[in-house]
């Protein structure tokens, strides 16, 4: 099956009289009449569920669906993207080691590494992963590499294929946060990546109404992550799993529209008054253009950013004038939203660090929604007009 069809059907097998939409199964516990039967289910030798922290029908459907879409053997769904990331790191490197991470890392991930992993003895090195010489150098003595398919907020695209080759040669596992691209636009495991994580809060769910995470990879690593998630109590609840799976069904059509709308808005913004620079992976002016063209042949999703002359007051003026877009500190929903990295995703790092990353007081990140593209362009045109 092609990816669009998989998105509609993955994770379920229907038989005669099956409900076409999955039932919601909120049960915390299942009853058994046979001790040996319970024992076999608890050992994982027979299918079925016994206690909700260990497994649940809705969570299992979502895990299978995301694994199938990413081309992975197995998946583990967690209560948030951060729980997924934490679980993935501990499954890959349970003991302190050196972690190489992309310089433009998602703020929550950077905070997790600095505030939870560093005090536990891990050494974290932030490297510009679009610079392959720096990657090669950084890999010496490293125990794990963490990258994002598309970086936040300036939408750089590291060459995952080249990094995966270098990492594999040195036996270093490679973890990729594929939240911004989704498996409909990029499948990092096909490029040689070890484990993929998602904040399903964003595009997989797609409707800004749930918080969830998923990791996918080989059966052994996922088994380790699943067991720890059960022990530490981070699994995803049934209703959020049900919602995420429901969101997944329309992923292909949403990602196409997000991709078309974001590129159209990025192009239009290049000539809007007060706009100094537009960041989108598939604009010819992007430093990542050729890598993005190769790794994201179906489009780059809905994320883009721009730098506005006049800094914070110009951004404030624009927000007040929007009629369609809203300011909200998340992304990946059907609605067009903007975020202001200086006080949202990048608030925990110093101004000097922000400047080094290219994030200034005029930098605005846009999560372009699936409204009519002309309406979105008209809204930004009006909000930025003199």
Q: Does 107 bind ligand PLP (CB under 6 A)?
A: no
Q: Does 159 bind ligand PLP (CB under 6 A)?
A: no
Q: Closest by alpha carbon to 135, among 147, 118, 152?
A: 147
Give the separation between CA 363 and CA 309, rounded to whole angstroms: 9
Q: Which stretch binds ligand PLP (CB under 6 A): 114-122, 154-162, 176-184, 261-269?
A: 176-184
Least gap, CB of 104 to ligand PLP (angstroms): 10
**Residue 115 DSSP code:** I
48: left (phi over 0), alpha (psi -120 to 50) or beta: left
Question: Given the structure tokens 């362009």, which residue do they identify?
Answer: 377
Nearer to ligand PLP, 109 or 130 (CB): 109
Least gap, CB of 100 to ligand PLP (angstroms): 17
Q: Closest by alpha carbon to 6, among 180, 250, 186, 216?
A: 250
Q: Which of residues 36-95 bind ligand PLP (CB under 6 A)?
A: 80-82
Q: Which of 70, 148, 307, 342 binds ligand PLP (CB under 6 A)?
A: 148
Asked if 272 and 380 touch (Cβ cutoff 8 Å), the reply is yes
Tokens representing residue 158 in the block? 């590291």
Q: Does 178 bind ligand PLP (CB under 6 A)?
A: no
- In the residue annotation, 252 being an active-site residue is answered as no
List 53, 125, 256, 277, catalytic entry: 53
Least gap, CB of 71 to ligand PLP (angstroms): 20
What ranges in the chain are assigned the alpha helix state H?
A: 3-9, 35-42, 57-70, 81-92, 107-112, 132-138, 160-169, 182-185, 219-232, 238-248, 251-269, 289-295, 311-321, 351-357, 373-384
The shares of helix, strand and coil residues in the chain, as percent rounded to the nearest 5, are 40, 15, 45
Q: Does 175 bind ligand PLP (CB under 6 A)?
A: no
Q: Which of residues 255-274 bind ligand PLP (CB under 6 A)?
A: none
Taking CA 176 as the corner, what is the angle to CA 207 and CA 108, rounded to the nearest 5 degrees? Answer: 65
Tokens representing residue 181 in the block? 């691209």
Q: Which of 60, 177, 252, 379 binds ligand PLP (CB under 6 A)?
A: 177
Q: Does 223 bind ligand PLP (CB under 6 A)?
A: no
List 177, 240, 252, 307, catalytic entry: 177
Q: Does 341 bind ligand PLP (CB under 6 A)?
A: no
Q: Which stretch binds ligand PLP (CB under 6 A): 11-19, 106-114, 246-254, 356-364?
A: 106-114
Nearer to ligand PLP, 180 or 340 (CB): 180
Residues labelled as active-site residues: 53, 106, 177, 202
Residue ranges that bind ligand PLP, judged by CB under 6 A: 80-82, 106, 108-109, 148, 152, 177, 179-180, 199, 201-202, 211, 213
């Amino acid at each position: 099956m092609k990816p669009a069809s998989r998105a509609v059907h993955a994770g379920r097998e229907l038989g005669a009289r099956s409900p076409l939409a999955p039932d919601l199964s909120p049960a915390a516990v299942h009853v058994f009449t046979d001790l040996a039967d319970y024992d076999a289910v608890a050992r994982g030798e027979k299918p079925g569920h016994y206690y909700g922290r260990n497994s649940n029908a809705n969570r299992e459907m979502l895990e299978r669906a995301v694994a199938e879409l990413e081309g992975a053997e197995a998946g583990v769904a967690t209560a948030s993207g951060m729980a997924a990331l934490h679980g993935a790191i501990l499954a890959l490197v349970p003991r302190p080691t050196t972690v190489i991470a992309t310089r433009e890392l998602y703020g929550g991930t950077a905070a997790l590494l600095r505030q939870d992993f560093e005090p536990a003895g891990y050494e974290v090195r932030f490297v510009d992963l679009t610079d392959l010489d720096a990657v090669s150098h950084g890999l010496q003595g490293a125990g794990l590499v963490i990258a994002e398919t598309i970086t936040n907020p300036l939408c750089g695209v590291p060459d995952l294929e080249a990094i995966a080759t270098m990492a594999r040669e040195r036996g270093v596992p490679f973890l990729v946060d594929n939240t911004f691209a989704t498996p409909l636009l990029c499948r990092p495991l096909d490029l040689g990546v070890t484990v993929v994580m998602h904040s399903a809060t964003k595009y997989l769910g797609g409707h800004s109404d749930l918080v969830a995470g998923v990791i996918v990879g080989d059966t052994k690593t996922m088994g380790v992550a699943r067991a720890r998630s059960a022990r530490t109590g981070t699994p995803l609840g049934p209703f959020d799993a049900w919602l995420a799976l429901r969101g997944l069904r329309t992923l292909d059509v949403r990602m196409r529209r997000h991709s078309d709308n974001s590129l159209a808005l990025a192009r239009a913004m290049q000539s809007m008054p007060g706009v100094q620079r537009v960041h989108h992976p598939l604009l010819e002016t992007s430093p990542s253009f050729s890598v993005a063209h190769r790794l994201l042949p179906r489009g780059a999703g809905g994320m883009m950013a721009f730098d506005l002359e006049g800094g914070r007051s110009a951004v404030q003026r624009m927000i007040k004038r929007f009629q369609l877009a809203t300011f909200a500190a998340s992304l990946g929903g059907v609605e067009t939203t903007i975020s202001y990295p200086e006080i949202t995703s990048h608030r925990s790092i110093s101004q000097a660090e922000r400047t080094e990353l290219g994030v200034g007081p005029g930098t605005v990140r846009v999560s372009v929604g699936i409204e009519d593209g002309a309406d979105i362009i008209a809204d930004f045109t009006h909000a930025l007009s003199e």
